[in-house]
């Protein structure tokens, strides 16, 4: 199996995985701590996602999803932060996977340099299992249902009191452009990450990104006090959803993969969903002459679905355009931290700090990027006009 397993590469190609796939012996050793699941167990599928090793495993009690992290990526406390959030969401009726505890009541299982978690598989089918992140929905109906799922998640999360996560690789936080002074906040962010601090290329690209994104921060800053703090998913793309069936009208039945979750705000999370699904970034990465497609019909459907469950406030709607231009920045730096500090790959890191941090910032200033943001501005202004008309009636 090892020789044939491929993972999603950063450019959309299939490549050898950075982490060796789960093995049958490894799964048996792990599940011996879960006697309630029974024996035997058999690996059914191997996940192509690049940042960990994972797969669906058949057990007498039903299929489970197992994920293995290197401890340089997630320590026990880091994984338990995610598990506490999932438990809260489940208690509030959200459709997310249940994390299964072992016989000792533990959900973060340490074995050597690895950390494991075992999840129930949620209802529905993994319709986008092979889809690369940052590729679009298949239909506008899928986008609409994804928006509804995200809104329901936000409602369930609103009383989760856990604070900001500690600095960790591969977390989509929101601190740099949440600050009054993003230059100082950027310096603090880099100083917390040993692999980033002192790296000349990252310093240059971070300064360039600040310059490029300053107009969006200036637009967002007056609105920030009105954006309530909230624990959020920060990685809602089509392949992090389970679906009711394989048709174009399928409904999202569950949200999975909470590895990037942190305390941000609902607009930040919604902006990530726009960035992940509406712009075909891989076209930009593969061929500079071919601009990435922007699916404005899916954008409208995603937002319509979201607001059918949780209407945005006037301030949230106004903040969505600048937040969409800004939301990628910290995760790009977090990926650079992972590539440098964990994989020790300058080649991959440069894609994050130059290609994604700077490249995506530049894109929002060109014609296609402005068209996307203008559509969000128009939607917000239309809402404001309607609210004013209703107020004077």
Residue-by-residue pLDDT tens, the chain, 393 positions:
444 666 555 555 667 889 999 999 999 999 999 999 998 889 999 998 889 999 999 999 999 999 999 999 999 999 999 999 999 999 999 999 999 999 999 999 999 999 999 999 999 999 998 887 778 999 999 999 999 999 999 999 999 999 999 888 999 999 999 999 999 999 999 999 999 999 999 999 999 999 999 999 999 999 999 999 999 999 999 999 999 999 999 999 999 999 999 999 999 999 999 999 999 887 765 555 666 789 999 999 999 999 999 999 999 999 999 999 999 999 999 999 999 999 999 999 999 999 999 999 999 999 999 999 999 999 999 876 776 566 666
Rounded Cα distance, 89 and 86, in Å: 5
Alpha helices (runs of H) in 200-260, residue ranges in sequence order: 200-220
The pLDDT of residue 383 is: 78
Q: Cβ of 380: how many Cβ atoms within 10 Å?
A: 19
Q: Do domains 7-120 and 140-392 have the same CATH topology?
A: no
Domain coordinates in residue numbering, the chain: 7-120, 140-392
Do the Cβ atoms of 227 and 316 come closer than 8 Å? Answer: yes
Q: What are phi and psi of 284, to 5 degrees?
A: -65, -40
What's the pTM?
Answer: 0.93
Q: How far apart are the first and last CA of the chain?
A: 68
Identify the pLDDT of residue 6: 61
Specify the pLDDT at position 2.
Answer: 43
Residue of 237, 234, 304 whose CA lies nearest to 269: 234
Given CATH 3.50.7.10, say whether it is the number of domain 7-120: no
Please give the torsion angle defined by the CA atoms of residues 139, 10, 114 and 81, in that order, rounded to the nearest 10 degrees. Answer: -50
pLDDT value at position 287? 52
CATH number of 140-392: 3.90.1200.10
């Amino acid at each position: 199996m090892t020789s044939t397993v491929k993972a999603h590469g950063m450019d959309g190609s299939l490549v050898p995985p950075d982490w060796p796939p789960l093995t049958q012996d490894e799964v048996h050793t792990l599940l011996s701590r879960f006697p309630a699941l029974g024996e035997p167990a058999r690996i059914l599928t191997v996940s192509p996602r690049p940042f960990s090793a994972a797969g669906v495993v058949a057990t007498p009690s039903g299929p489970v999803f197992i994920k293995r992290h290197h401890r340089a990526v997630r320590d026990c406390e880091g994984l338990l932060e995610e598990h506490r959030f999932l438990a809260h969401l489940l208690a509030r009726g959200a459709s997310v996977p249940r994390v299964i505890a072992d016989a000792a009541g533990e959900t973060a299982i340490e074995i050597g340099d690895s950390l494991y978690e075992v999840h129930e598989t949620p209802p529905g089918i993994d319709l986008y299992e092979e889809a690369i992140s940052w590729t679009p929905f298949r239909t506008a109906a899928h986008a609409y249902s994804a928006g509804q799922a995200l809104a329901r998640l936000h409602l369930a999360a609103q009383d989760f009191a856990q604070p900001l996560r500690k600095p960790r690789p591969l977390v989509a936080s929101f601190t740099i452009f949440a600050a009054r002074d993003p230059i100082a906040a950027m310096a603090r962010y880099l100083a917390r990450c040993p692999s980033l601090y002192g790296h000349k290329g990252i310093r240059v690209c971070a300064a360039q990104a600040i310059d490029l994104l300053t107009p969006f921060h200036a637009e967002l800053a007056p609105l920030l006090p009105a954006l309530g703090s909230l624990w959020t998913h920060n990685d809602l793309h089509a392949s992090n959803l389970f679906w009711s069936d394989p048709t174009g009208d399928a409904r999202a039945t569950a949200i999975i993969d909470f590895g990037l979750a942190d305390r941000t705000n609902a607009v930040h999370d919604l902006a990530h969903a726009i960035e992940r699904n509406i712009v075909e970034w891989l076209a930009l990465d593969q061929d500079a002459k071919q601009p990435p497609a922007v699916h404005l019909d899916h954008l409208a459907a995603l937002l319509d679905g979201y607001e059918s469950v949780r209407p945005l406030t006037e301030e949230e709607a106004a903040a969505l355009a600048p937040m969409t231009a800004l939301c990628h920045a910290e995760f790009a730096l977090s990926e650079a931290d992972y590539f440098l500090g964990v994989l020790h790959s300058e080649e991959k890191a440069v894609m994050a700090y130059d290609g994604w941090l700077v490249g995506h910032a530049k894109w929002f200033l060109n014609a296609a990027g402005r068209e996307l943001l203008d559509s969000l501005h128009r939607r917000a202004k239309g809402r404001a006009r309607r609210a004013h008309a209703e107020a004077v009636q």
